[in-house]
Amino acid sequence: MITTDIIIIGAGPTGLFAVFEAGLLKLKCHLIDALPQPGGQCSEIYPKKPIYDIPAYPEILAGDLTDKLMEQCKQFEPGFTLGERAETIDKQEDGSFIVTTNKGTQHKAPVVAIASGLGSFEPRKPLLDNITDYEDKGVEYMIKEPEMYRGKDVVIAGGGDSALDWSIFLADVASNVTLVHRRNEFRGHLDSVDKVQELKDAGKINLITPAEITAINGNGKVESVEVTKKDEAPFNLKTDHFIPLFGLSPKLGPIANWGLEIEKNAIKVNNALDYQTNIPGIFAIGDGNIYPGKLKLILCGFHEATLMCQAAYKIINPGKRYVLKYTTVSGVDGFDGTRKEAPKAVVKTID
C-alpha cells in the first residue's frame, strides 16, 4: 500500500504543479496516470507544439513545459504510478481514501485530487466486429513487452509515429513485421519514415499501402488477418499478432462511477472556495472539472491546484495555524534535503 498526503489522479501540468504547491505546505503527493510517462496531453498528443499562454513564457513547447514542471516539483519527491488507470475509490472509517488501479496497486491518503483532464487515454480500436474476442489473444493496442514478439509474425496497422517506431523496433525482434497503412504517406518524424524505407528496401519490413485490415481470423487466437488493398481483392495474411496503433482518445472512465456529480463529462466543483467535489476530501482541478465560467486552460489549472492545496492542508492539519508564504522570502525546502533561497543582500558601509 502506497501512503501519501495527496493522491493526484492525472500527471498532466495541473497535477504536476499541484505537487509543487503541496510541497510548499509540506504535503507529499503521489500521482497516478494511465499513460506511461508524465505530462498528460502535453506529452502524449502534442509535445512538439508551442503553447503561447503560459504566463512569462512567450512560447514554450508542450513537451518542454512538462520537463520544466517536473524539474520544479522534483525536490518534493513525488511518487508515480504510471501506465495504470485509477479504477476504484473507497472511503475508510478514518476518513481517508484508498484508490486502486486496474492493476491492483493501492494508494491511501486523506485527500484525493482528480486532475484527469479529459480522462484517461484509451487506445482507439479499429471497427472490426470480432476484435474484442482477440484482445490479448494476439491483438494488442499497446506494446508493453516487446520480448513477447520475438520470433513471431506481427502485423502493425497505422500511419503515425507509434506505428513507425514499433515497426522499426520489432524488425529486429519479430520474425516478420508487416506494416499496413491506409495511404502511402506516413505522418511521423522524418528519420523514422526514412528508417522504415531503409528497412523495407532491405526486406526487413513488409510494407502494404494503401491498405486496411478488414477482418481478423483464428480459432481462439489470431491466426491471420484479411488485408484489403485499395481497389484489389482482399487476401489473408498469416500472423501471430495484430497491433493496431491508431492513437489514443481520452475517456472519463471509471471515475464516472465514483459518486461524483458529473456535468458535461466533467466533475462539478465548488469554485467559490477550493474546487472540492460533492464528496468532501475529493477535489477536481484542471480541465476535468466544471463550474460557472470554467475555462480549460493550463494557467487556470495552476490556480485551481494552488487553492486545492490550501484546502488539503486544512483537512490534513485540522486547526493548525498557517500563513501564506512567498518563496522569494522563505525559499523552498525540498523533502530531499535541498534548499533554494534568495541570496542574502550585501550590507557594506560606504566610506
Q: Does 48 bind other proteins (CB under 8 A)?
A: no
* Beta-bridge partner residues of 54: 57
Q: Does 265 bind other proteins (CB under 8 A)?
A: yes
Q: Whose grid coordinates read 472509517?
A: 93
Q: Is 209 annotated as a binding residue?
A: no
∠ CA 218-223-225, rounded to 5°: 90
Q: Does 266 bind other proteins (CB under 8 A)?
A: yes
Q: Does 85 bind other proteins (CB under 8 A)?
A: no
Query: Which of 50, 83, 123, 160 touches other proteins by CB under 8 A?
Result: 160
Q: Does 39 bind other proteins (CB under 8 A)?
A: no
Residue 343 three-state SS: coil
**Calpha distance 340→331 (Å, rounded):** 5
The grid cell for 208 is: 502494404
Print the binding letters for residues 93-132 with other proteins: x by CB under 8 A, - otherwise: -------------------------xx----x-xx-----
Q: What is the DSSP string of 4-49?
A: -SEEEE--SHHHHHHHHHHHHTT--EEEEESSSSTTTHHHHT-TTS
Q: Tell which residue, 218, 219, 238, has the closest CA to residue 227.
A: 238
Query: 264 or 344, CB closer to other proteins?
Result: 264
Q: Is 66 annotated as a binding residue?
A: no
Q: Is 121 annotated as a binding residue?
A: yes
Q: Is 328 annotated as a binding residue?
A: yes
**Calpha distance 297→192 (Å, rounded):** 32
**Calpha distance 268→98 (Å, rounded):** 21
Query: 27 or 51, CB closer to other proteins?
Result: 51
Q: Does 24 bind other proteins (CB under 8 A)?
A: no
Q: Does 247 bind other proteins (CB under 8 A)?
A: yes
Q: Which distant-in-sequence residues (6+ apart) come within 8 Å of 131 by Cβ?
A: 125, 139, 216, 244
Query: Which of 103, 137, 187, 230 touches other proteins by CB under 8 A?
Result: 187
Could you list the residues known to form a binding site for FAD, using ranges.
Answer: 14, 33, 41, 46, 86, 121, 287, 328
Q: Provide the binding-site residues for other proteins, judged by CB under 8 A.
A: 41, 45-46, 49, 118-119, 124, 126-127, 158-160, 181-183, 185-187, 246-247, 249-250, 252, 264-266
